[in-house]
Amino acid sequence: MREVAVIGVGSTKFGEMWERSFRDIMIEAGLEAIQDAGIEGREIEAMYVGNMSAGRFISQEHIGALIVDYSGFSKDTHIPSTRVEAACASGGLAVREAYLSIASGMHDIVVAAGVEKMTDIGTEITVDVLASAADREWEGFVGATFPGLYALMATYHMNKFGTTREDLAEVSVKNHYNGSLNPKAQFNNRITIDTVLNSSLVADPLRIFDCSPITDGASAVILAAGSIARKYTDTPVYIKASSQASDTISLHDRRDVATLDSTVFAAKRAYKMAGITPKEVDVAEVHDCFTIAEIMAYEDLGFCKKGEGGKLIREGVTALDGDLPVNPSGGLKACGHPVGATGVKQVVEIVTQLRGEAGKRQVDGAEVGLTHNVGGTGATAVVHILTR
């Protein structure tokens, strides 16, 4: 296995981009990453694009071909371009596929991108599209939506471990604060515990401020073989580990409703591959599609013992000035959650942090970063560990 480095990153602003199309935002993110890497287009050997459901969001399939064409590589270099799908973990998986293609020795410079255009259709259809990440026959057909399934996990977690309603709210407050420092975040407004507690109920106990929003956005990273990375940048960020794990697609088939075993296994494999322990992580971007998801992520990634996730947020450990800042970008909650792009955006954020270029939201002295991207209610988890 060859060493792999990130040599360029790019992201659009996340939000409701009614005036711009799927291809517009994808190209903007890709171009920013290419410029950041200082490479020429003809140096790119392959592309991987994470996208969950363009077929239903914008009635467009064959995303790999569309993106490579609009990137201008279909008429000269004719490089391969592959769409990768694992629901909300599509972005993380695109990074992993790009990583594998370089680590294997097949390619030297590869683009990993993620894109989703979610606001071109009505909310009801969007909710149904997202529900397709769960088990349609056993969950979707009987009315389970994503907030409904995560509400079950939250209720179970609260009953089993004493996690409180306020603990959940704290996650949202923290992520909105971080989002206020990120110019590319969908939400820049700071909120209080009361904002969350008094917001509309979505699926008890989850309220609207516990839920990540519907977002348009695209992100891209340029990966290169470690041996050539310094030709392009003085600040390469190395991918020390890339791992992926699976769990049952239905929530009711899980060993434990309040544990994402996919995360547990992906994390264990990643720590082993990188040769570190969870304690050595300086900054993390985790999959907070709902506030309870971030609390479970703390536990399943080994940042604390099972059941102590609520305590971690309560004690401020994961705040920007805490011992282990989590979701400095604002996370899915405040930065936004364009499902196919999220996993790539997490890598963009960690690279920016490790380079020391995160501005007001910079985590002091960050040297080891972790990304955690989840598909569905945890049927897929992708974890990356990056270092300077």
Partner 1 sequence: MSEKVGIISYGAYVPKYRIKVEEIAKVWGDDAESIKKGLNIFQKSVPDMDEDTVTIAVEAARLALKRRDNLDPRDIGAIYVGSESHPYIVKPSGTIIAAAINAGNTLTVSDFEFACKAGTAAIQVCMGLVKSGMIKFGLAIGADVSQGAPGDALEYTAAAGGAAFIIGGENIITEIEDTFSFTSDTPDFWRREGQDYPRHGGRFTGEPAYFRHIISASKGLMEKMGTEPKDYDYAVFHQPNGKFPVRVAKILGFTKEQIEPGLLVPWIGNTYSGSSMLGLAATLDVAKPGERIFLTSFGSGAGSDAFSMIVTDEIESIERNPKLRDMIENVRYVDYGIYTKHKRKLKV
Q: Among all residues, which ones are annotated catalytic?
A: 88, 337
Q: How far is the CB of 151 from partner 1 (least distance, A)?
A: 17
* 223 strand-pairing partners: 6, 110
**For partner 1, which stretch binds (CB under 8 A), given 12-20, 220-228, 257-265, 375-383?**
12-20
Complex with partner 1: residue 19 or 76, whichever CB lies closer: 19
Q: How far is the CB of 202 from partner 1 (least distance, A)?
A: 13
Tokens 């699926």 appear where?
203
Footprint (CB under 8 A) of partner 1, residues 79-118: none
Nearest-10 Cα torsion for 372, 18, 53, 189: 20
User: Which of 35, 77, 104, 123 touches partner 1 (CB under 8 A)?
Assistant: 123
Q: How far is the CB of 195 from partner 1 (least distance, A)?
A: 13
122 binds partner 1 (CB under 8 A): yes
Strands 206-207 and 109-116: unpaired
Complex with partner 1: residue 120 or 367, whichever CB lies closer: 120
Q: How far is the CB of 18 from partner 1 (least distance, A)?
A: 5
Give the DSSP H/E element, type plus range, for residue 22: helix 22-37
Complex with partner 1: residue 208 or 228, whichever CB lies closer: 208
> How many angstroms from the chain centroid is the CA of residue 130?
15
Complex with partner 1: residue 16 or 194, whichever CB lies closer: 16
DSSP class of residue 121? S
Q: How far is the CB of 200 from partner 1 (least distance, A)?
A: 7
HSE, side-chain direction, 13 A CA sphere, residue 162: 3
Complex with partner 1: residue 203 or 222, whichever CB lies closer: 203
277 binds partner 1 (CB under 8 A): no
Q: At what angle do helices 291-300 and 146-161 cross, to 10 degrees?
A: 60
User: Which of 59, 200, 234, 365 touches partner 1 (CB under 8 A)?
Assistant: 200
**For partner 1, which stretch binds (CB under 8 A), given 64-72, 119-127, 238-246, 357-365?**
119-127
**For partner 1, which stretch binds (CB under 8 A), given 16-24, 37-45, 273-281, 375-383?**
16-24
Strands 81-84 and 46-50: parallel
What is the distance between the alpha carbons of residues 169 and 221, in angstroms, rounded to a whole number? 32
Q: Look up residue 372 and give its two tokens.
A: 């955690």
Total residues contacting partner 1 by CB under 8 A comes to 7
Listed residue (107, 104, 112, 47) closest to 73, CA to CA: 47
**For partner 1, which stretch binds (CB under 8 A), given 13-21, 173-181, 264-272, 303-311?**
13-21
What is the distance between the alpha carbons of residues 209 and 258, in angstroms, rounded to a whole number? 20
> How many angstroms from the chain centroid is the CA of residue 146?
17
**Within 10 Å of residue 278's Cβ, how many Cβ atoms?**
17
Q: How far is the CB of 52 from partner 1 (least distance, A)?
A: 21
Q: How far is the CB of 242 from partner 1 (least distance, A)?
A: 37
19 binds partner 1 (CB under 8 A): yes
What binding mask, one character per residue, do residues 222-261 give for partner 1 by CB under 8 A, x or -? ----------------------------------------
> How many angstroms from the chain centroid is the CA of residue 255?
24
| Dihedral over Cα of 101, 105, 106, 110: its sign | positive
Footprint (CB under 8 A) of partner 1, residues 20-39: none
User: Which of 16, 194, 204, 323 touches partner 1 (CB under 8 A)?
Assistant: 16
**Cβ–Cβ under 8 Å, residues 249 and 40:** no
Strands (E), the chain: 4-11, 46-50, 81-84, 109-116, 201-203, 206-207, 217-225, 237-246, 283-285, 368-375, 380-387
Complex with partner 1: residue 145 or 250, whichever CB lies closer: 145
Q: Which residues lie near partner 1 (CB under 8 A)? A: 16, 18-19, 119, 122-123, 200
